[in-house]
Amino acid sequence: MKSLLNCPAPAKLNLFLHVNGRRADGYHLLQSVFQIIDRSDTLHFSLRDDQELHRTNDIEGVPAEQDLVIRAARILQAEVLRRTAAMPPGVNITVDKILPMGGGLGGGSSDAATTFMALNKLWNAGLTREELMALALPLGADVPFFIFGETGFAEGVGEDLQPVAAPDCWYVVIEPGVACPTGQIFTSEHLTRNTPPVKMSDFSSYHANRQDLRQFGKNDLQQVACRLFPQVAEAVEWLGAYGDARMTGSGACVFVAVHSEEQADAVLAKVPAAWTGWKAKALKRHPIIAKL
């Protein structure tokens, strides 16, 4: 097989997530810190002899044509054709998924971002990071972040990003076994949309001045998700015995920060059998950067 490339698509945690307002198009103005962690889907890319784009494996609930991976590949293929007047070769893509869908971990968005970056390389397309981020935004508010590739402070709808230093710690993550549809959370009548803006330096100095791992700010989507999905509320309560437990993104996953891998293992040993739990380390950068 020619040009096989295996690439990670890591998860993110929203260390806090404030909803500051709503735009005329219904999208919400957010502030958040997106933390990259070392738990990833893995994507395998191989070039074909024709110009077709195929996903080689089945993913329950996601037909290939709707998969963000195939949609990302189509967008980049069209852009390469526009720029060079030549169609790049087709690609087979296998998606090894371990990140739960509707988990608030950005799995689908990360798969799409990895596809943009890997195919930019495989096709020698030469797009800059900024160009890829602009192409990616229509696929979802989180996709540009994963192309940006650094733990960062996000504003706007999540596309206005700056690198930020965040605690160098481990996280224990619980999957409560439900999928939270992002749109349903954002359109809830119970969502508060008026958290006052913070400055990036508020986040940095909060963490610089303390030894404990209590979290800055809050997740404004958490109350709504807990109301709609009591399983999320249960996970927040259970994990809260081990620290400042919080939901990521629009849910459903819940995380807590701990100082060491040993502490993470100690919490994991107690996770009730009905839930899936795992540990992950905080990363400063996207792991694909070292590969491409």
Ligand X SMILES: C[C@](O)(CO)[C@H](O)COP(=O)(O)OP(=O)(O)OC[C@H]1O[C@@H](n2ccc(N)nc2=O)[C@H](O)[C@@H]1O
Binding positions for ATP: 100-110
Residues 6+ positions from 229 with CB-CB distance below 8 Å: 176, 178, 180, 251, 252
Min dist. Cβ of residue 5 to ligand ATP (A): 17
Active site residue 202: no
Q: Which of 12, 67, 111, 279 is flagged as catalytic?
A: 12
Q: How many whole angstroms separate alpha carbon 282 and alpha carbon 274?
A: 26
Q: Which of 41, 111, 142, 220 is flagged as catalytic?
A: 142
The one among 95, 178, 221, 258 contacting ligand ATP by CB under 6 A: 95
Q: Which of residues 178-217 bind ligand ATP (CB under 6 A)?
A: 182
Q: Name which of 15 and 127 has its Cβ closer to ligand X.
A: 15
Beta-strand pair 254-258/276-283: unpaired
Q: How many whole angstroms separate alpha carbon 41 and alpha carbon 64?
A: 16
Handedness of CA 60, 61, 63, 68 (dihedral sign): negative
Cis-peptide into 154, omega within 30 deg: no
Say which entry of ligand X, ligand ATP, none residue 149 contacts (CB below 5 to 8 A, set by partner kind). none
Residues 6+ positions from 55 with CB-CB distance below 8 Å: 64, 67, 69, 70, 92, 93, 94, 95
Say which entry of ligand X, ligand ATP, none residue 102 contacts (CB below 5 to 8 A, set by partner kind). ligand ATP
Q: Which residue's Cβ has the minimum distance to ligand ATP? A: 108
Q: Is 183 in the site for ligand X (CB under 6 A)?
A: yes
The catalytic residues are: 12, 142
- The residues of the shown chain that bind ligand ATP, judged by CB under 6 A, are 62, 66-69, 95, 101-109, 111, 142, 182, 249-250
